[in-house]
Amino acid sequence: MNFRTILLPTDFSECAETALAHAADFARQSGARLVCLHVVEPTVPSVGYGPVVEPLPTADMGVQLEESAAGELPRLAARAECAGLEVEEVLAHGEAATEIVRVARERGADLIVISSHGRTGLGRMLFGSTAESVVRHAHCPVLVVKPKEGDR
């Protein structure tokens, strides 16, 4: 396969770092550009009964999350794995899987390399699977990189 554009969605986790190594290898082998995407999801306060353990999200928290992500993307592009590659940094807002599929289509991605946190059972039911949703809705092939045993 000859890839021209590879999309790497990242949440800056250790699992995503494993996906970065694979995406950079594919990009290097095929001469593709690497599009690093981070999606800032809306913060929604939890609803329920009982004591609030964490402060409720505020508009300031959303701005802080965005600023933090905007600072992390250039650090990701500057990593040794990306040396010599054409790297584009994209920050999107919304539901992660939906935005990943949208950006992949907009940027003409030939491949999406996404990490999976490896949740199963109740954890998967509660948190859903972004990777699974991307696989279902993407217009191009999706490589799902499983976490190393110690990264779960």
The domain made up of 5-40+56-85+93-151 has a fold known as Rossmann fold (3.40.50)
- Domain boundaries along the sequence of the chain: 5-40+56-85+93-151
Q: Quick one: residue 108, left, alpha or beta (phi over 0 = left, psi -120 to 50 = alpha)?
A: left
pLDDT digits (tens), the chain, 152 positions: 789 999 999 988 888 889 999 999 999 999 999 999 999 888 665 555 555 544 444 445 455 555 666 667 777 777 888 899 999 999 999 999 999 999 999 999 999 999 987 555 544 444 458 988 999 999 999 999 987 665 44
44 phi, psi to nearest 5 deg: -125, 125
| Predicted TM-score of the model (pTM) | 0.78
